[in-house]
Structure 1
Amino acid sequence: MAKIYTPNSKSVHGISSTQFCYNFISLMGLSDRKKVVLRTVNLKSSGLYRCEVSAEAPSFSSAQSEARMEVVYLPKEDPVITGVELQYQIGDEINLNCTSGKSHPAPVLHWYINEQQVPLHFVQ
């Protein structure tokens, strides 16, 4: 028998070749002895997954394996730069803002001028 221990869930689900349930998701016929198919995962689906395989009588021996899975959520839109003026004079201060949409994990923003990354001490 194979069992999967899922993150954010205290229950242990038995897997057969015909049925697997993950919370409210029923995956009839998609999972088998070697794989589990999960659909409609969300951020709470991230975590440590463990598969445990055990033999029936008389040995009752078992083996297990663990893997960490992270669900990422990318922004739906490109980042937006605001505060841009049409012209600047020599000596002017440029104060721009780069805003990214919702994502997980949080985005890391970098500024570039003419294809060269702006040193971090110039960025607040």
Structure 2
Amino acid sequence: MDFSASGSYACEIALETPLYSKVSKIHELNVIVRQKYRPKIKIKHKKVSSSENLEATCQSAPAHPAPHLTWFINHMKVDERLIEPHGTWNVHRHHHGMPLSLTNSSLHFPLSSLQLFPNQTVEITCLSTIPSYANLGEGFADIQNHTVTVNVIRMEPPPTQLPVKIISPEHNSSNRYNNQCVLIILMYLMCCYTKMQ
């Protein structure tokens, strides 16, 4: 199939005797170039706290038309408001003269909304499809997906500071004076002891 074959198709039945004609429903035909590999997910951190945001990017394979990206967390579709689309752009590859395009988007998902416990894992899936949404009762013309796992870790609280005894300057000087007195007494006793021998 050439790309010029894309368009609207219908068929018509016509009779001369008796005079009769009937046109079928019109169907759209699109010639596509399939994705050759699954989308690529990049995770900012493979280990995150349950109170942090999960940040990731997804890039589709080149295709025609540009694939649509859909994010899933633990097999549940992510709210579009948590996704930042970066648009599509052409790559240097062509297929029979048709430029191929890829799609890129970012995910910023608050893990606190999942009520996770430490040492659990979260599955992130990027679904890359043509077309963006299939019609009722129809599948996708092309579909690829990629899933990665992120570990939710327990963030240890910072160590508590041990109590510190604060010494005032007056107390410090009195201690110094007491230490000097003890030292003088010890020296005197040692002198007396040597004289007695």
Give the strand-richer structure, 1 or 2: 2
Higher RCO structure (Cα 8 Å, ≥6 apart): 2
Q: TM-score, normalised by structure 2?
A: 0.32
Q: TM-score, normalised by structure 1?
A: 0.47
Give the helix-richer structure, 1 or 2: 2
